[in-house]
């Protein structure tokens, strides 16, 4: 008997290989997948502005990067002894506003440069809930621990989600764009509210996927909910997938989106990385020296640094 329902994945009309440049942006699950790309030594740039949970935040930074719209002093504010920007993650916050602006604008340049080379853009959506800053009547990406009374909490409509995604797609008419919905549950919003939030993302995405040929959907959410569907695949917080779950999602992604050559090379990279992490009991033995030499030959054969 088969005790698992496997989510069907439609193979796309392309194959990612080691010549590909992959840009990834979105929620914290995007970080988990990007770490896998990085481990296997693919060319990837992930979340240059930190974790971004909703489509409006993703749209805004991508638009600024592509359109070369710099961050200015109007985009930053001072709170709790640091300067912050509502459009990016708090990892950029700094005690010196000039350094903050310099770092943000450098990231814009790096992002635009990488996007110009990118073949594939992976966008991971986390939530439909947003916070609107009352003072400016603008939706923010991060509240930076500013008192909640300064914001209005809102739920994006299907129309708002679809429009934002269409705006993103219009920035990259000649790129393959892979969308996915994060399997991480935002329980702080409430159980029913989290379900509603994810549902709106799915409906908004479905509207967009039907209209654009260069868009694709990878079911990471469904894989966790319908294939794994067990709390042993969640970390202690019962919200974030474990490394085992991420490994499984990565396996499902790679077997459907990678070329056979890329799959083979990734296996070689994995073997080499494990060999490099090996701690010998007697590093001076001839056997270990041969082991090191063989590993170096394998790296040289691959043609890129590990």
The pLDDT tens digits for 104-129 are: 999 999 999 999 999 999 999 999 99
Q: How confident is the model at residue 59 (pLDDT cuts 50, 70, 90)?
A: very high
Mean pLDDT value of segment 40-45: 97
Query: Average pLDDT in the 137-160 region?
Result: 98
Is residue 277 a part of any domain in this protein? Answer: yes
Q: Rounded to 5 degrees, what are φ and ψ at 94?
A: -150, 155
In this prediction, residue 291 carries a pLDDT of: 66
pLDDT value, residue 3: 67
- 247 and 160 in a common domain: yes
d(CA 73, CA 102): 11
Radius of gyration of the chain (CA): 21
Residue range 216-226: average pLDDT? 96
Categorize the per-residue pLDDT at 247 as very low, low, confident or very high, splitting at 50, 70 and 90.
very high
pLDDT at 81: 97
* pLDDT tier, 205 (very low <50, low <70, confident <90, very high otherwise): very high
**Which pLDDT value is given to residue 276?**
82
Instruction: Based on the fold, state whether residues 141 and 158 are members of the same structural domain.
Output: yes
Interior angle at CA 47, CA 42 and CA 50, nearest 5: 145
Asked if pLDDT for residue 284 goes beyond 80, the answer is no
Q: 272 and 123: one domain?
A: no
Query: Does one domain contain both 235 and 265?
Result: no
Burial of 15 (0-12, 13-18, 19+ CB in 10 A): middle
Please state, rounded to an integer, the average pLDDT across all residues of the chain: 94
Asked if residue 4 belongs to a domain, the reply is no
pLDDT of residue 4: 77
pLDDT of residue 18 exceeding 70, the answer is: yes
Mean pLDDT confidence for 150-159: 98
User: Does residue 145 fall inside a structural domain?
Assistant: yes
- Residue bearing tokens 């919905």: 181
Averaged pLDDT for residues 78-99: 98
Per DSSP, 280 falls in state -
* Structure confidence at residue 287 (pLDDT): 72
Question: Do 143 and 267 share a domain, yes or no?
Answer: no
Q: Is the pLDDT of residue 298 over 90?
A: no
The verdict on residue 206 lying in a domain is yes
Regarding whether 182 and 290 lie in a shared domain, the answer is: no
Which of 242, 258, 274 is the endpoint of a domain? 258
Residue 12 in domain: no
Same-domain status, 188 and 303: no
* 268, burial (CB in 10 Å: exposed 0-12, middle 13-18, buried 19+): middle
pLDDT at 99: 98
Expressed as residue numbers, the domain containing 157 is: 21-258
pLDDT at 294: 76
- Give the CA distances from residue 98 to residues 78, 93, 201, in Å, rounded to whole numbers and listed in that order: 12, 11, 37
Q: Which residue has the higher pLDDT, 299 or 57?
A: 57
Same domain assignment for residues 274 and 229: no
pTM over cut 0.85: yes
Helices 55-67, 97-117: crossing angle, 10 deg rounding: 80
Provide the sign of the torsion angle of the four alpha carbons 157, 163, 166, 171, taken in this order. negative
Tell whether 15 is covered by a domain: no
Same domain as 83, residue 226: yes
| Whether residue 166 is found in the same domain as residue 84 | yes
Last residue in a domain, options 240, 258, 276: 258
Res. 292: pLDDT tops 70: no
pLDDT exceeds 80 at position 218: yes
Q: Which pLDDT score is estimated for 286? A: 74
pLDDT at 94 over 90: yes
**10 in any annotated domain:** no
Same-domain status, 165 and 305: no
Predicted pLDDT of residue 293:
74
One domain for residues 264 and 254: no
* Number of residues written out for the chain: 306
Number of domains in the chain: 2
The C-alpha atoms of residue 101 and residue 103 are separated, in whole angstroms, by 5
* Mean pLDDT, range 26-36, rounded to an integer: 94
SS3 275: helix
Q: What is the CATH number of the domain that holds 106?
A: 3.40.50.1110
The first and second tokens of residue 78, run together, are 């001072």
In a domain, 7, yes or no: no
Mean pLDDT of all residues in 149-158: 98
């Amino acid at each position: 008997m088969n005790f698992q329902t496997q989510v069907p994945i439609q193979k796309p009309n392309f194959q990612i290989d080691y010549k590909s440049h992959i840009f990834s942006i979105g929620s914290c699950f995007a970080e988990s997948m990007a770490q896998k790309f990085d481990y296997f030594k693919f060319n990837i740039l992930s979340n240059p502005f930190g974790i971004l949970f909703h489509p409006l935040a993703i749209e805004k930074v991508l638009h600024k990067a592509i359109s070369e719209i710099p961050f200015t002093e109007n985009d930053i504010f001072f709170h709790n002894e640091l300067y912050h920007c509502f459009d990016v993650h708090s990892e950029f916050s700094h005690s010196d506003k000039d350094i903050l602006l310099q770092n943000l604008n450098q990231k814009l340049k790096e992002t635009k440069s990488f996007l110009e080379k990118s073949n594939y853009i992976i966008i991971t959506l986390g939530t439909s809930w947003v916070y609107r800053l009352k003072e400016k009547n603008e939706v923010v990406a991060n509240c930076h621990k500013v008192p909640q009374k300064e914001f209005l909490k809102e739920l994006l409509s299907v129309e708002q989600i679809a429009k934002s995604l269409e705006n993103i797609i219009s920035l990259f008419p000649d790129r393959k764009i892979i969308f996915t919905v994060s399997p991480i549950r935002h329980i702080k919003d409430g159980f029913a509210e989290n379900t509603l939030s994810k549902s709106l993302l799915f409906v908004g995405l479905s509207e967009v996927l039907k209209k654009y040929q260069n868009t694709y959907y990878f079911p990471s959410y469904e894989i966790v909910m319908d294939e794994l569907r067990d709390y042993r695949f969640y970390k202690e917080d019962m919200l974030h997938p474990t490394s085992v779950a991420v490994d499984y999602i990565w396996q499902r992604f790679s077997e459907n989106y990678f070329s056979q050559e890329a799959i083979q090379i990734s296996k070689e990279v994995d073997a080499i990385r494990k060999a490099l992490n090996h701690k010998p009991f007697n590093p001076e033995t001839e056997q270990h020296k041969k082991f090191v030499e063989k590993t170096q030959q394998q790296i040289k054969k691959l043609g890129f640094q590990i």
